[in-house]
Amino acid sequence: MQEADSGNLDRRLADLKLVEGLAACGFAGPLYVDFSTEMVRYGMSVTEAWLYSGRIFTLLNERGIHLNVSAWESQRLRDDPEAIGDITDIAVAMAWHKFDERALRGGEWKATGGATLSTYFMGRVIFEVPGPFRQWRRQLHKSAEHDPHEDQLGDRSRLGLDPAVQAADDCAMHMVLDLLPEIQQQTILLKTAGYDHGQIAEALSLPSARAVEGHVRRAKKKIREYLDVRGEARD
């Protein structure tokens, strides 16, 4: 852990220099545009992975915000990438506005606070998810009321800290991801989005990039085994 703490300190000091550079430019110009674009892109990739896997609800529960997401709601969200995208867009946009105004320009973020800029930003994003999620949930239930074929049996079971969805999905990607533990799902989703192991470790609160490598290796092994079995079945 000492190595991980040292790495975090290095990143925080680098972030401090970055903020000082942004302030010197008046939070405008190419440096600011590049930084804001990358931060928002990072926030969207992480949030989409959290919504898909259900980790976002665990993080909200840990902060005292209990959305009581049912298995049916969680599965419907997983099956609706457009909804995940819409919730993410709103949450990240609102979070960026507050982060930019308070953490950057207002000086709320401190290098001595223990969190890197990206971790601090994602903390803000978490608190912005409930609003658009509740809007989506209301629309979902409203639509279900007019569809006699809609199955809400999963609604009888409220999920606690970690929503677990067992329903099968027709999408091949979902089928493969469902074979993996939650942490490996998120690791693969973020790696597919183009983030390196260090960034993934920070986003998922893992101790090091090496820990991410281990999750990726185990996930790939599981996926290969799954594909081998499917290949044998076709033969």
**Whole-prediction pTM value?**
0.70
Closest alpha carbon to 185 in 62, 71, 51, 83:
51
- Say what the pLDDT of residue 6 is: 55
Q: What is the sign of the dihedral through the CA atoms of 217, 45, 130 and 158?
A: negative
* Residue 121, Ramachandran bin (φ over 0: left; ψ between -120 and 50: alpha; else beta): alpha
- Say what the pLDDT of residue 192 is: 75
State mean pLDDT over 175-182: 76
Q: Residue 53 pLDDT > 80, yes or no?
A: yes
Residues 60, 74 share a domain: yes
Residues 140, 52 share a domain: yes
Predicted confidence (pLDDT) per residue in 62-120, tens digit:
999 999 999 999 999 999 999 999 999 999 999 999 999 999 999 999 999 999 999 99
What angle do helix axes 2-24 and 30-53 make, rounded to 10 degrees? 140
Residues 105, 49 share a domain: yes
What gap in Å lies between CA 110 and CA 120, rounded to an integer?
Answer: 10
Residues 134, 206 share a domain: no
Bridge partner list, 107: none
Predicted confidence (pLDDT) per residue in 140-172, tens digit:
998 877 655 555 444 433 333 333 333 333 345
Residues 85, 116 share a domain: yes
Q: Domain range spanning residue 80?
A: 2-164
State mean pLDDT over 8-13: 90
- Say what the pLDDT of residue 155 is: 43
Q: Residue 2 pLDDT > 60, yes or no?
A: no
Give me the number of domains the chain comprises. Answer: 2
Burial bucket for residue 127 (CB in 10 Å: 0-12, 13-18, 19+):
middle
- Say what the pLDDT of residue 184 is: 87
- Say what the pLDDT of residue 179 is: 77
Residues 193, 157 share a domain: no
Bridge partner list, 187: none
Cα-flanking dihedrals φ and ψ of residue 70, to 5°?
-80, 165
Residues 181, 152 share a domain: no
Q: Domain boundary residue among 164, 198, 227?
A: 164
Residues 234, 175 share a domain: yes
Residues 187, 100 share a domain: no
Residues 66, 144 share a domain: yes
